[in-house]
Each structure stands twice: as structure tokens, then as C-alpha cells.
Structure 1
Amino acid sequence: MSRMPAPLPPSLPSPFLVSELTDAGAPAGRLRRADLARLERGVYACRDTEVHDPWTALGLPAPPHHRAPGHLRALLRAHPAAVLSHETAAHLHGIPFPAGHGQAAHDRSTWVHLTFPAGSPRTRRPEVVAHRCQLPEAQVTHVHGLRVTTLERTWVDLCSLGHPWLLDALVAAGDHCVKRPWTGFGRAPALASVDSLRSTVESLRKYKGKGAALQALEHVRVGADSAPETEMRLALIDAGLGEPSLQHPIDPTDPWSPEADAAYEDIKTALQYDGWHHRSREQQARDASRDRYCQERG
């Protein structure tokens, strides 16, 4: 009969690094017991940890890299000088990804992106993309307890990646950065502005994606609540219909007037993009009330 494995030190985080286990006084041989699972080189976790989706609890979809928040924290503890960046930071900031992102076999876009200080030694980890540059402290923040690039710097980094981050995807990502989210009681302040995105771009002298970023900025607008709304606007412009106004009040004289996602005021035409959340009965009732309000005003 095999002996029960010795309990892990109570101070040990989960997942944990091998160095954290040994620093807590446990022998390295403890890693060979069946109650532990190796997540990747130097990172372990308990097998009997309750299985759930930690990203749902944070209000985020599952990321392309398939690592849990605790796993990312362990990677950052293993590399104290590193910062989560590019697409990994974009997911944490809630930036919408291009359609079909990460679906190709052996797609590096499903890897974790870490940015290290310029001149750092090379780091080799499975499914980790290592970038090296000198990040100003003002371009580093924390999201959900994880060290990441700021919203503006993350968008600028996306502009350097190329396919599938092409013009429309970069505009949708930029629209997300500058939007004023609807809270149910009005619009919250935007987390970024077109000017703050532009100043971040211009602060970088040698930058691979500068041309793409400046081109995308010409099309970024405040008022798109989702990537499909951005795509709708760009499609209207591409069709030669001109640029609609966004989040347009149906009756500007009424402080309680509902808004149109996009509108051409000169021809009294309102356009709405009804995403998945419009399937609920409550939302459909609000949509019907909004439509009647529009029709009563021509």
C-alpha cells in the first residue's frame, strides 16, 4: 500500500512553481506524487482542484491560449520582469478578436505573449511568444491582478502583428478602446480616447506597426458598442452611403430618447445591430418599444 502524499505547504499558491515548492521546505521528489499535475516546465497544480471556468467569473470568454488566470500568474512569478502583452493583454482588456482567430492548426496566435525588457536573456517556453522592448512604466498596468500592458499600448502592439489583425479588426479594436460602455443607467466614461491612442503611437520611434496604427486611427470612432457595429459602419461607408452618426438620439429634444446604433439624420433612417443578447424576451420588448418610438417620429 502506497503512503498518502505529504500535504502541500498551506502558503503554496495554485498553480505553483517548483522553486516555490522547494522554498516552502518540501522536497523536489514531492512533484512525482500522483496528486500533482505538470502544467508546463516548472509549473504544477493539484489534480483535485475544483474544475470550473475561471474566465466566466471574470466576465471574459475563454482565451485562445487556454491557460487559466492562476497559470498566467505563475508565469509572471517565474518571470518577474515580464508583462503580459499583445493578444494576451487584449483578451484581458476585453478587446474583440478577429473572426476565426486562432482556428488554424499550429497557430502561434493561440500562444501567450510576454514582453521582457530590452536586452533580457532569451526565454524558451512552449507556446509562449517572447517580445523584447523597453516598456515605459506608464504603459504597464494590472487587470484582474495580472501585470499587463495598458489598453492603449495593447492596441498599438496589436497593430504590429499583421494577419489576422488587418484594418477592419484594428478599427474594431480601437472602437472598443474609446467606447463609452452602457451601464443600464447611462454611458460610463471611456477608458481611452483617440488622442491617447495616437499619442502612444507617436511616442514610439521605431515601431513595425506604426503605419497600420495611423491608418486605423483615421477610422476609429466613439459610439460603436461592439465589433459587429463597427463592421456595419465600415460596410456602409465602403458601399458609398457615407458615414452614419453613432448612438444617435432619435429625438434630440427628449432627454429619455432611445438611441440608434447608427443613423442618417438627413434621410431619417436609423439602423440597429441586434446581437445575441437581443434574444431575451425582456430585450425584445425594449426593442419593440424603441421601434415604435422611431416610427411615431417618422
Structure 2
Amino acid sequence: MSAPEQRALLARWEKVHGRRPRGLRYQRVLRGVYLPADAEPTLADRCAAALLIAPADAVITGVTALQLHGITVGNTSPIRLASATALRRRTAGISLSRTRTLPEQSRRVARPVAAWVDACRELDLVEAVAAADWLVRLGRATGPDLVAAADAASGRGCRTARRAAQLTRSTARSPKESELRLLLTLAGLPEPRCNVSVGDDVHRIAEVDLLYDDFRVAVEYEGDQHRTDGWQWSVDIERMEELIAAGYAVIRVTAARMRDPRGLVHIVHDHLRRRGYAGPAPHFPSEWSQLFDRRTH
């Protein structure tokens, strides 16, 4: 958040010690920090409130900082802070961790790459990769930035960060695409390319989410907007027809299909095998099961 935004927030807040003010004019955001009752606290509001009662060197970091940078991942509560100062008593709604070295910051918010590394302490591998792909897509980081930061990290979450950095792809365009790609590759299938334009200079057929070039198999994730938007639905049908006419097998993946991750992996494998893939059959190690069998959509 910018300095003017912080000043505007702080100017209209009242830091009240002791009992809560009488009447309904105030609502408590955090212990000792109140907001006018008619205001709906935003994430930025709650972050500024946390900084009011945190040590003076505290920095918003981890998942919370990622959310401020536009990466919707993890839970919005508690507010994650890092400080090099001795910790105070616990406050509901704040997670304050002590660190010798504060993350690189701007206006008390960790910069995107530093925030991502910290967030890997609580994200699983799929979430970490999706967040990394998203950062790269928004231009907030590059793949080499993430690899370097992950390699330099230590402590809890560093292994997740290192693996996620290696699995980040600059061409991924949505968290669900990232999840679908990992669902297939971590089960042992070859890695498809992301968001590939199919066709030639004269006639561009379509851009597909995931493509197995050698086997002419396309995997498309159909978000809910594809179903509810009549125009988009019509465009999708035309694209699928053209891809099939050009000799591509098209696998359309919906949220319902993602609820049967093993079945989906076998469907993709069967299509690849029918088109010449001679690699090993998919396998589902314990890590894959922990990441996908229990994931809800």
C-alpha cells in the first residue's frame, strides 16, 4: 500500500486503549485498534491496523504480502508479519514471526519475490507453483529471480520454494492451468507446453492451454465462465471443431473432472498412448496423493 493510503487510513482510525467505546460508532479491527462502524475493513485496512500495534520494524510478508501484490492464494487471516524485535504477547488476527534478517521491503510490505519465499512456509507445492507462475505472469518476478531467492533461502519452506521455482513456467496463465500441469507431470506423464498457438502464419486455429506437440493432444481447462457466457461457449465449440479437424485430440477439463484426479491422469495417458506415446504408465506416489487426492475444487 502506498504512503498516502497509509496516512489516509491512519488519519481516520482511532487507537483506543482499554475498554471498547460505548455505542455502535466503532468496530474493533484488532485488539486496541478500531474503525468506524460503517466501514467494511479491507485487507489493506487490517494490514495497517496490524502495523499500528506491531513492533516498529515489522514487515507484512508471506501470503498476506502476496495478496497485497495481487496474488490470491492462501487464507486472508491472520496477517503475517516479520520482525527482528523481541516478540510481544500474541494478538488474535496477527501471526508475528521473529527473524534475524527482514525481507526486502517497500513501505513495510515485503517485495513480491521475498513474500513468495516466505509464503512457501505454509503453501503446498501446487499453491507455491501457482503463485510463482502468477507473479511471473504479472511481471512481478522472473523465473531466475525465484530460483535465486529459493536457493538462498533456509529454514522451513525452503525445499518447497526450490522445487516450486524449478517448476515455474512463464507461459502459464491461470492457477488452474498450473494445477492441471502439475497433476499430470507429478504423476509421471511428460510435461505439456503452456498456452501454445496452434496453426501457422496464414491460419491460426487456436491457443490451447496445454499441448503435447509430439502427439497432437491438447488439454483445455474450462472455467465456469466458459459455460455461463453464451458467446464464449460458442467460440469454444468452434475452436474445438477446428482443432479436431486439424488432427488434434482435445481433452476438456472441468472442475467436476478435476475432482477425479486419478481418472483424469488416466484419460490423458490413454490419449497419449493411442497417439504413439511409449513412456511409462502414470504412477501416484504419496506426495501426489497428498497434493491432489484431498484437494477440493
Task: State whether TM-score is above 0.5.
Answer: yes
Aligned counterparts of 1:30 and 1:171: Cα–Cα separation in 2: 43
Task: Identify which of 103, 111, 117 aligns with 1:156.
Answer: 117
Aligned residues of 2:44 and 2:68 also touching (Cα < 8 A) = no
* Stretch of structure 1 that moved more, 250-259 or 190-199: 250-259
State the partner residue of 1:290.
Answer: 239
RMSD over equivalenced CA pairs, Å: 3.0
Q: 1:231 aligns with which of 142, 164, 179?
A: 179
AA of the residue aligned to 2:120: C
Matched residue, 1:191: 140
For residues 23 and 72 of structure 2, what CA distance do their matches in structure 1 show? 41
Contact in 2 for aligned 1:96/1:172 (Cα 8 Å): no
Report if the CA contact (8 A) 2:61-2:81 is conserved.
yes
1:154-233 equivalent positions in 2, closer than 5 A:
154-161=115-122, 165-179=123-137, 190-204=139-153, 206-233=154-181
- Say whether residues 1:130 and 2:96 are aligned partners: yes
**How far 1:30 sits from its partner (Å)?**
9.7
Residue in structure 2 matching 1:76, options 51, 62, 79: 51
Secondary structure of the residue aligned to 1:31 is coil
Which residue, 78, 83, 105 being the options, matches 1:140? 105
Which string of whole-angstrom CA distances, capped at 9 and with x for unpartnered residues, describes residues 18-44 of structure 1? 38xxxxxxxx99933542233332211
- Take 1:11 and 1:85, find their aligned partners in 2: how far apart are those partners? 20
Q: CA deviation at 1:250?
A: 0.8
Structure 2: segments with no counterpart, 5+ residues: 1-7, 248-297
**Structure 2: distance between partners of 1:86 and 1:253:** 44
The structure-2 alpha-carbon separation of the partners of 1:37 and 1:178, relative to structure 1 and needing over 3 Å to count, comes to closer
Matched, 1:91 2:34: no
CA pair 159-68 structure 1, distance change in 2 beyond 3 A:
closer
Secondary structure of 2:95's match?
A: strand
CA contact 2:30–2:50 (8 Å) conserved in 1: no
Seen in structure 2, the aligned counterparts of structure 1 residues 200 and 293 have a Cα distance that, compared at 3 Å, is: same
User: Out of 224, 229, 237, which is 1:276 matched to?
Assistant: 224
Contact kept, 8 Å, 2:30 with 2:93, in 1: the verdict is no
TM-score, normalisation: structure 1: 0.68
Amino acid at match of 1:74: A
Residue 242 of structure 1: how far off its partner (Å) = 0.7
Change (3 A) 1:73 1:252: farther
Q: Relative to structure 1, is the Cα distance of residues 35 and 212 closer, same or farther in structure 2, using a 3 angstrom cutoff?
A: closer
User: Which secondary structure does the structure 2 equivalent of 1:130 belong to?
Assistant: strand
CA contact 1:249–1:259 (8 Å) conserved in 2: yes
The 2-side partners of 1:127 and 1:11 are apart by 18
TM-score (norm 2): 0.68
Q: 1:17 aligns with which of 5, 10, 15?
A: 15
Partner of 1:105: none
Residues 261, 270 of structure 1: 8 Å contact kept: yes
Shift of the alpha carbon at 1:50?
Answer: 5.0
Give the secondary structure class of the aligned counterpart of 2:81: strand
Higher helix share: 2
- Percentage identity across aligned positions? 29
Choose which of 206, 209, 212 in structure 2 pairs with 1:264: 212
Unaligned runs of 5+ in 1: 1-9, 20-27, 55-66, 103-108, 181-189
Q: Which amino acid aligns with 2:95?
A: V
Which deviations, in whole Å up to 9, do the C-alpha atoms of 1:29-88 show, x marking residues without a partner? 9933542233332211222x255xx7xxxxxxxxxxxx6432322322344422211121
Q: Offset at 1:168?
A: 2.2
